[in-house]
Each structure stands twice: as structure tokens, then as C-alpha cells.
């Protein structure tokens, strides 16, 4: 059987470094990366799993809110990734949302966002960093993919985001927060591998627990590919 194909979404221009690292992680665990961006013909039959990569803020009109901060949006990318997410959910394809990808997953399931986190932070810094300098508190009550891949207790993560999940979308549960209680990881208890993380694991591939998120995605994409082949 061929390698499972993992679609990696992103903008038309830029974001080459994070997408390069995501692709490297996919290849490491036996997957074949497929880069998608606005303007790419969308063929859901061409891939077996999805990574919705990080980037600019999600446009608030998608969750029926007025802009509260200076806009930095990419409407074409929002449209593409919303379509990819909804297609993956409908077909039960494994999906990993990173940063804005987690936010957009939440929105596609009816959730909302905090547009600015400055007012939400009391114990943690608002400083952006690719280094693991912030604390992730993994829920002991949610025995899901985050706990299985990262373990229980606390881990160190990076932080490159302005926004975060506010109201939780349908069929999602919170599996990790930071020290301020801001949502850092969500997942679907009913999906085969449907999760979103607010940090950037692609910049932390030197940590085995962060690589495990991509390993899990490729493993579940392989299972999807096998089920697809068996049904044909």
C-alpha cells in the first residue's frame, strides 16, 4: 500500500518554515505531505489526513462577532481551511489543528474565540516565543489523545498567538489549559483523531512527546487509508 497522504494547509505566500517542519514530521512517521493553499483545487479523495497549520488570526465574521482588534485576516485561507475541516469531519479523517487551526476547528463546530488575550492573562506572559517557556496543564479527567501522547501533569510549550478559544464548539472537550486557564488543547471524544493544539509542536520536534502528535496523525491516516481501500 502507498504511504498515507497528509494534506497541510497554509497561506498562498509565506509560512514556509512551519509547513516545512510539519512536512518533515509527517515524512518521519511514514506519511506523504501534500501542501494545500488558496487557489489549490480541493480533492478530498487525494489525502487521508489533515494538518491545519498556524498563521494569521481567524476573521471574526465566521463566529458572528465584530472585530475588536486591528485586522490581520486572510479570508481566502479561512474559506479553504473551513472547507477542509468540514470535509474531514464528515468523512472521519484524522485532523490536527495547530494554533489558528485549532481555533478554526472550534469555529467550524459552532464555537467562538477571545480576539485578544491581554485581558485574560494574569499569571503568564503575553510574549511570543518558539521556545518551550510556557506551562501546559494536561487534564487528568480527559483520557484522550493529548493525555495519551503527552502524558499526565505538566509540559512546557511555546506560544505564538493573539487569540484563543472562548466558547467551546459542539462535540469538543478541553484536554489542556495554561496557568491562566486559557484553552490550549481540544479534541473530539467521538472522532478517530480530531484535535487542536494552541501551541506549535512543529517547532518542538526535538521533544518526543511533541513528535507523538504527528505520529498519531499518520497512524490514524494509515487506518483511514486501509478502511478506504477495503471499501472499494
Choose the catalytic residue: 48, 59, 81, 99: 99
Q: Which set of grid coordinates corresponds to residue 186?
A: 481540544
Q: Are 136 and 172 in contact (CB under 8 A)?
A: no
Q: Are 120 and 74 in contact (CB under 8 A)?
A: no
Choose the catalytic residue: 48, 114, 145, 200: 200
Which of 114, 19, 17, 7 is closest to 57 using CA atoms?
114
As beta bridge partners, residue 9 has 36, 52
> Distance from CA of residue 83 to its chain's centroid?
15
Q: Which set of grid coordinates corresponds to residue 154?
A: 505538566
CA R_g for the chain: 16
For the question of residue 200 being annotated catalytic, the response is yes
Q: What is the DSSP string of 120-156?
A: T-SSS----EEEEEEEEEE-SS--SHHHHHH-SEEEE
Residue 46: partners with Cβ closer than 8 Å, 6 or more residues away = 5, 7, 34
Choose the catalytic residue: 161, 202, 219, 220: 202
For the question of residue 202 being annotated catalytic, the response is yes
The residues assigned a catalytic role are 99, 200, 202
Amino acid at each position: 500500500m502507498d504511504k498515507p497522504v497528509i494534506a497541510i494547509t497554509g497561506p498562498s505566500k509565506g509560512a514556509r518554515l512551519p509547513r516545512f517542519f510539519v512536512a518533515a514530521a509527517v515524512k518521519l512517521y511514514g506519511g506523504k505531505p501534500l501542501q494545500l493553499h488558496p487557489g489549490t483545487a480541493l480533492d478530498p479523495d487525494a489525502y487521508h489526513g489533515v494538518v491545519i497549520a498556524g498563521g494569521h488570526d481567524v476573521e471574526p465574521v465566521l463566529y458572528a462577532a465584530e472585530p475588536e482588534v486591528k485586522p490581520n485576516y486572510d479570508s481566502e485561507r479561512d474559506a479553504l481551511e473551513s472547507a477542509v475541516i468540514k470535509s474531514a469531519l464528515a468523512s472521519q479523517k484524522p485532523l490536527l489543528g495547530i494554533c489558528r487551526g485549532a481555533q478554526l476547528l472550534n469555529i467550524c463546530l459552532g464555537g467562538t474565540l477571545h480576539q485578544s488575550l491581554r485581558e485574560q492573562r494574569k499569571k503568564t506572559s503575553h510574549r511570543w516565543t518558539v521556545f518551550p517557556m510556557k506551562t501546559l496543564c494536561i487534564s487528568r479527567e480527559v483520557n484522550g489523545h493529548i493525555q495519551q501522547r503527552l502524558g499526565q501533569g505538566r509540559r512546557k510549550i511555546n506560544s505564538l498567538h493573539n487569540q484563543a478559544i472562548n466558547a467551546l464548539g459542539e462535540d469538543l472537550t478541553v484536554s489542556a489549559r495554561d496557568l491562566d486557564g486559557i484553552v490550549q488543547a481540544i479534541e473530539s471524544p467521538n472522532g478517530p483523531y480530531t484535535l487542536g493544539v494552541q501551541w506549535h509542536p512543529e517547532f518542538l520536534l526535538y521533544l518526543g512527546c511533541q513528535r507523538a502528535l504527528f505520529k498519531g496523525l499518520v497512524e490514524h491516516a494509515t487506518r483511514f487509508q486501509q478502511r478506504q481501500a477495503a471499501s472499494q
